[in-house]
Amino acid sequence: MSSLIQITLGVLTAMGGFVDIGELVFSVQAGVKFGFALLWAVLVGAIGIIVFSEASGRIAAVHKKAVFEIIKDRFSKRVSILVLILSTILNILTCAAEVGGVAIALQLLTGLSHLPALILTVGVLILIVWTLPFNLLEKIFGLLGLGMVIFIAAVITRHIPSGEISSGLIPKLPHYNLQSIYTYLYFALGIISSTMMPYEVYFYSSGGIEEKWDPKKLIDNKLTAIVGMSLGALVSGSLLVLGADIFKPLNITPNLHGTSVLLAAIPFGKIGMIIALIGIIFAISGAALETCFAGAYNIAQYFEWRWGRHLDPTKTQKFSATWITIFIFSFFVLLFNIDPVDLVEYAVIFSLLALPFTYYAVLKVAADKRIMQKHASGNFGKTLGWIYFVLICILAIVSIPLMILTNMGKG
Amino acid sequence: MKSSYIYIVSALIALLVGVTVFGTQMIGNTELNKNDIHSQINDFESFGHETQLLLQNYQQDKITSTYLTNQLNQIDKKFQSISDTLQGKKIAPKDFSNLKKLTNLSSEYLFMTKKIEEKTAEKQQIESELLENKKITKQLEYLGKLYE
């Protein structure tokens, strides 16, 4: 039972990580542009985030340190401040995109206009985070975000031959022109990056510290990472499949994240539409909460302030002021009528620059026998981790040139 | 870690950000080329098809009027934003008439969605707008083919 409860942390992280506003557009667009051919990227991202969240959770349980604390230990002061600045900018940008996404979904559900929906979103998020204990927060957003599972059900109703879907799990370049290949690679990179965004491990490991994990929780950690992230991957993959199956033949390239709701409405009608919207509101709110907390955790851990939502907010004044400021800053960013989808696309691509630093520290500490003792990564975990590290470095190098070459995926 | 490494990494990041900003600026200031026009027409066309799907699903009672009007409103904004982008760029003389057609189609689309928003309560009465949208989308498809 305890394991089952713990899984909700993973579900929240996974739903927020895989199925944030960027995913709603990126995955569906990938399906529209290349059919099932990019499903492998969802799988690659899923395995990557399972490897690194499991390792960061294990470090939190054994070493009692969150990811940013180990970044600070591993790198010099200058490098860690550089990572702090970069990750804080990314966390704020992503948080603003998620908050904007929630506001739009709220508009689609209730008919509120933009500004009231935005004020309501930020106000309610601050109120909920301020008043509810951490474990209740994760359960509410994690479980209600499960409404996104409707997209998996929608795939089942489409009766798509399994052979067609599984063919997308093997990477192959499209037989088009060079520009199409660049676009294909840009989408593959976007899917992998959005799945492995660093805020997920910052939040996940700090969440482990909040919940006072110890080595007895290592099984729960493994289960949480595998089940939670796999569920997120299934939702993300379903969005891609539905995009390929429903929108591609109709020549619709969804540029609005509200368009994805149609993928649930077509098979299930209004009920499906409402469940999808509620799922989107809670999953993206979960992502907003994760990014906001990840930003506050990193800053607090770097400056060694008292931090944690399990503590009374009046006893963690600097930490509390930081997460409230991030929410308010996100609100002001959105007042400039910036499209949340554009914002998150920039955040996803630029996050690749912070990934190598973050995952290098996680890999090194997780494999360090002096720190982790018998819980240090085994040969399989180490090999897989380093393969991913090399992949991340390659993606970081090619990300921005590809972004320019493809005009942000528009070809 | 050596301090030189930090400066290299910082310089690399600054360079990448700089290249992106410069690249975006360059794209923003240059004359519209065939690919730009094709991409903008594709976006218009995609929104036309999406509108078709929205209206059909609304008639089949699969989506709410709140969702329909809000989604149309978002599409209106995108149409407007694409039109503004086109108007803000340099256009080669040979593309004038096609882009004029595109702007007219955009205005027709915006006028059509306004009419839909006024009568969403009557599902069957949007039949004429559905046909109008089909006509606009067909013309967008034709324009798109000219730039393939």
pLDDT by residue (tens digit) across A220-237?
889 888 888 888 899 999
All residues of chain B having their beta carbon less than 8 Å from the beta carbon of residue A404 are 19-20, 23-24
Q: How confident is the model at residue A267 (pLDDT cuts 50, 70, 90)?
A: very high
Question: Do residues A206 and A294 lie in contact, with contact meaning Cβ atoms separated by under 8 Å?
Answer: yes
- Angstrom distance (rounded) from CA A351 to CA A362: 16
| Tens-place pLDDT, residues A89-106 | 889 989 999 999 999 999
Lowest mean pLDDT among A1-10, A80-89, A402-411: A1-10
Q: Residue range A320-334: average pLDDT?
A: 92
- Higher per-residue pLDDT: B140 or B27: B140
A403 Cβ neighbours under 8 A, 6+ residues apart: A186, A349, B20
Residue B5 C-alpha, separation from nearest chain A C-alpha, in angstroms:
9
Q: Residue range A266-295: average pLDDT?
A: 94
Residue A227 C-alpha, separation from nearest chain B C-alpha, in angstroms:
32
- Higher per-residue pLDDT: A173 or A91: A91
User: Collapsing DSSP states into helix, strand and coil, what is residue A74?
Assistant: helix
Q: What is the pLDDT of residue B134?
A: 83
Q: Is the pLDDT of residue B1 over 50?
A: no
Q: Residue range A166-184: average pLDDT?
A: 86
* Cβ-based neighbour number of residue A403 at 10 Å: 25
Q: Is the pLDDT of residue B24 over 80?
A: no
- Angstrom distance (rounded) from CA B47 to CA B58: 16
- Angstrom distance (rounded) from CA A358 to CA A346: 19
Size of interface A-B (CB pairs under 8 A): 98
Q: Residue range A60-89: average pLDDT?
A: 91
Using CA atoms in the order B76, B80, B81, B83, what is the torsion angle rounded to 10 degrees? 140
Report residue B15 as tokens: 């360079």
DSSP structure class, residue A227: I
Q: How many helices (H) and strands (E) does chain B have?
A: 5, 0
CB contact under 8 A, B3 and A76: yes
Please enumerate residues of A whose Cβ is less than 8 A from a Cβ of B: 75-76, 78-79, 82, 86, 104, 107-111, 250-256, 258-259, 261-262, 265-266, 269-270, 272-274, 277, 350, 353, 400, 403-404, 407, 410-411
Cβ-in-10-Å burial (0-12, 13-18, 19+) of A285 comes to buried
Query: B67 CB near a chain A CB, below 8 Å?
Result: yes
Interface of B with A in 11-40 (CB under 8 A): 13, 16-17, 19-20, 23-24, 27, 35, 39
Q: Is the pLDDT of residue A193 over 60?
A: yes
Q: Residue range A297-318: average pLDDT?
A: 90
All residues of chain A having their beta carbon less than 8 Å from the beta carbon of residue B43 are 253, 255
Question: Do residues A224 and A57 lie in contact, with contact meaning Cβ atoms separated by under 8 Å?
Answer: yes
| Tens-place pLDDT, residues A340-393 | 888 888 888 888 888 898 999 999 999 999 999 999 999 999 999 999 999 999
Query: B3 CB near a chain A CB, below 8 Å?
Result: yes
Q: Is the pLDDT of residue B6 over 60?
A: no
Q: How confident is the model at residue A69 (pLDDT cuts 50, 70, 90)?
A: very high
**Host H or E run for residue A348:** helix A340-367
Residue A308 C-alpha, separation from nearest chain B C-alpha, in angstroms:
30
Query: B91 CB near a chain A CB, below 8 Å?
Result: no
Q: How confident is the model at residue B138 (pLDDT cuts 50, 70, 90)?
A: confident
- Higher per-residue pLDDT: B92 or A79: A79
Provide the mean pLDDT of chain B. Answer: 76
Residue A221 C-alpha, separation from nearest chain B C-alpha, in angstroms:
32
Minimum-distance CB partner of B66 among A111, A253, A353: A111
Provide the mean pLDDT of chain A. Answer: 89
Q: What is the pLDDT of residue A16?
A: 57
